[in-house]
Amino acid sequence: MKLREDEVRIAAPDCEIRSKVIRPVGEEPLPGVVLYTDIFQLTESTLRTARRLASAGFVVCVPEIYPRGEVAGVALEFDDAGKQAGLAAAAETTTAQFDSDRVAVLDFLENRDDVTTLSVVGFCLGGHLAFRAAFDPRVLSTVCFYPTGLQNGSLGADDPGSLARAADIHGRLMVIFGSQDPHVPADARLKVISALYAAGLEDLELHVYAGGEHAFMRDIGPRHDPVLTDLALYEGISFLTRR
């Protein structure tokens, strides 16, 4: 399948959000998916994942998660300097800013003539952002790949209280963890899963992949597990398409 990629600027109240829109070639209206990156933003690794998702029949919008400050428009390197820059940018971003950006991106995607419905996926910190996007009633399905900070309120400059708002999720939710993820160890996963069930979520699917490390889907570096990556993408796409 051939894909088309466009760079777009999405207007938010106090900034422009640099984004990539990737979809199969053609004009056929398709389901839309917002893909939230990890802290390294729009890296080629993440864009490769976005292309695989688009090839399954989606219009995929990949916004930068830090459209303000020094790293706006920057794809960070997968090294210590890149990690520190990404974490610093997160620490400077308020929950209100993350939420405002989310509304802008969902509005943009909803208003495209080639988009029929809205879903969201996210990785790492982006998995947490995807969880918060699920609060929007327009979002039909959400897949959170190894989301961080749900268990302890860690996201940006302030405690977002995301897990306490689990009952605000109206659509379908899938969460995928790796069993060897030090950022979301077993006790943290238990807290997240217990809160989701306590909130009364019924259309909920959970996976813990044995041996999966944090960011096992990033196809650069020693944590990458190609088998688990393919499995996670298959499960995620299957969930988004309602099997």
List pLDDT tens digits, range 198-226: 999 989 999 999 999 999 999 999 999 99
Domain boundaries along the sequence of the chain: 3-240
Given a cut of 80, whether residue 133 has pLDDT beyond it is: yes
Q: What is the rounded end-to-end Cα distance, in angstroms, of the chain?
A: 20
- Cα–Cα distance measured from residue 214 to residue 147, given in angstroms and rounded to the nearest whole number: 9
For residue 88, name the pLDDT band (cuts at 50, 70, 90). very high
Phi-psi bin for 160: left (phi > 0), alpha (psi -120 to 50), beta? alpha
Q: Measuring CA to CA, which residue among 40, 116, 115 is closest to residue 78?
A: 40
Determine what percent of the chain is predicted with pLDDT higher than 90: 98
pTM surpassing 0.75? yes
Class of domain 3-240: alpha beta
Q: Are 152 and 135 in contact (CB under 8 A)?
A: no
pLDDT digits (tens, 9 = 90+) for 106-132: 999 999 999 999 999 999 999 999 999
Phi, then psi, of 39 in degrees rounded to 5? -65, -10
pLDDT digits (tens, 9 = 90+) for 2-52: 999 999 999 999 999 999 999 999 999 999 999 999 999 999 999 999 999
| Maximal C-alpha separation, the chain | 46
What is the three-class DSSP state of 231?
Answer: helix
Mean of pLDDT values over 43-71: 97
Burial class (CB in 10 A: 0-12, 13-18, 19+), 44: exposed
- Cα–Cα distance measured from residue 15 to residue 30, given in angstroms and rounded to the nearest whole number: 28
- Cα–Cα distance measured from residue 21 to residue 136, given in angstroms and rounded to the nearest whole number: 21
The amino acid at residue 66 is: Y
